[in-house]
Amino acid sequence: MSRSRPALPTFSEADIKAFEPALKIGLLATVNPAGQPHLTLISSLAACSPTQVIWGQFTEGLSKQHIRANPKTGFLIMSLAKELWRGKATFTHTAQQGPEFDRYNQQPMFRYNAYFGVHTVYYMDLVAQTGGAPLPMGRIVAAAIQTVIARTVSGPRDGVAVLNGWTRGLLNKLDNLKFLAYVGADGYPAIIPIIQAQAADRQHVIFSLGAFGDELAAVPAGATVAVFGMALSMEDVLLRGQFQGIRRIAGVSCGVVGVDWVYNPMPPVPGQIFPLVALTPVAAFG
């Protein structure tokens, strides 16, 4: 959560109302069995009371496995008006009926979909949240320009193509959204917007500290971090690697992530795409 904003123990009525629209950005950060952060796009994130976070499951994915083994989560909600909430919550239980279940499945996205609906609602107890705040677009734009300059000066490097051309293109489009997550000292993952981030080469992601710099400077060097990139067309990619600390590149203070794992979160078949997973023959049918 933001170091400059006080932590709030509850949601206000205005917060709860702001989370109701289906059209918003919702991110859930979980911790995998290796203790590493994982980020998932979950637009159904909402609050059903001042102290409870909920979301609806309609597809499978790693986050649903992680949360059952480790209930500590971080979340981010961003409205279409670019107002941002972030916080921590603890998973408690699921339900496959009840008022929240019915409410999700009455939404047009699910009510009129012949192929899937929400089949499970997840409930989490709020630990703390930031309250709504507008994205600092002026600082983000300036930081993005600084990052482009640093990327240009740093130049291409040889090495294994961890980030393929499609992934680099998605990350380097200035109006796409990017976020970083790491596991804090309390065991809860924290999410930081890094919309200014760029792929410096085929193995590294860099970002100026011109926006959210106080939070980014607090990420421990050597920590494992997750980076989630997405377009508003709902194309997205998840990266993971080591935070290599803060460096001066072309006079710009930049955070650097050395990427060693890439995951495709998109349906119909989410899965790891780097390192390459060996294909195995089907041995049983039916």
Q: Residue 97: which CATH number?
A: 2.30.110.10
For the chain, strand residue ranges (E) read 25-31, 37-41, 46-49, 52-57, 72-78, 83-95, 120-129, 133-134, 177-183, 189-193, 198-199, 204-208, 224-230, 236-249, 252-264, 271-274
Residue 115 reports pLDDT greater than 80: no
Give the per-residue pLDDT at 233. 86
Q: Is the entire prediction scored with pTM above 0.85? A: yes
Same domain for 173 and 97: no
Taking residues 71-94, report their average pLDDT.
97
Neighbours of 262 (CB within 10 A): 19
Same domain for 124 and 27: yes
Same domain for 238 and 147: yes
Q: Is residue 286 in a domain?
A: no
Same domain for 175 and 231: yes
CA–CA separation, 263 vs 274, rounded Å? 7
CA–CA separation, 251 vs 230, rounded Å? 28
DSSP state of 8: B
Give the per-residue pLDDT at 4. 59
Give the per-residue pLDDT at 114. 47
Give the per-residue pLDDT at 276. 84
Same domain for 117 and 69: yes
Same domain for 64 and 158: no
Q: Which domain holds residue 43?
A: 13-133
Higher pLDDT, 269 or 85: 85
Taking residues 157-177, report their average pLDDT.
92
User: What are the pLDDT digits (tens) for 26-42?
Assistant: 999 999 999 999 999 99
Total number of domains constituting the chain: 2
What are the Cα distances from residue 29, in Å, to 39, 45, 70, 102, 138?
5, 12, 11, 25, 26
Of 108, 133, 158, the position where a domain reaches its end is 133
Same domain for 143 and 251: yes
Cis status, amide bond into 220, omega within 30 of 0:
no
CA–CA separation, 259 vs 240, rounded Å? 6
| Count of residues making up the chain | 286
User: What are the pLDDT digits (tens) for 205-255?
Assistant: 999 999 999 999 999 999 999 999 999 888 999 999 999 999 999 999 999
**What average pLDDT does the chain have?**
91
Q: Is residue 181 in a domain?
A: yes
Same domain for 98 and 49: yes
Confidence of residue 270 (pLDDT cuts 50, 70, 90): confident
CA–CA separation, 75 vs 130, rounded Å? 11
Give the per-residue pLDDT at 58. 78
Give the per-residue pLDDT at 24. 94
260's tokens: 């060693």
CA–CA separation, 239 vs 167, rounded Å? 10
Give the per-residue pLDDT at 57. 87
Of 118, 133, 148, the position where a domain reaches its end is 133
Give the per-residue pLDDT at 116. 66
Confidence of residue 112 (pLDDT cuts 50, 70, 90): low
**81, amino acid identity:** A
Q: Is residue 90 in a domain?
A: yes
Same domain for 164 and 66: no
Rg (alpha carbons) of the chain, rounded to whole number? 19
**184, amino acid identity:** G
CA–CA separation, 182 vs 218, rounded Å? 11
Of 71, 99, 133, the position where a domain reaches its end is 133
Q: Is residue 283 in a domain?
A: no
What are the Cα distances from residue 174, in Å, to 126, 141, 169, 229?
33, 9, 10, 11
CA–CA separation, 63 vs 57, rounded Å? 10
Same domain for 142 and 105: no
Give the per-residue pLDDT at 262. 98
Taking residues 85-103, report their average pLDDT.
94
Q: Is residue 182 in a domain?
A: yes
Instruction: For residue 150, give the nearest of 258, 247, 241, 227 by alpha carbon.
Output: 247
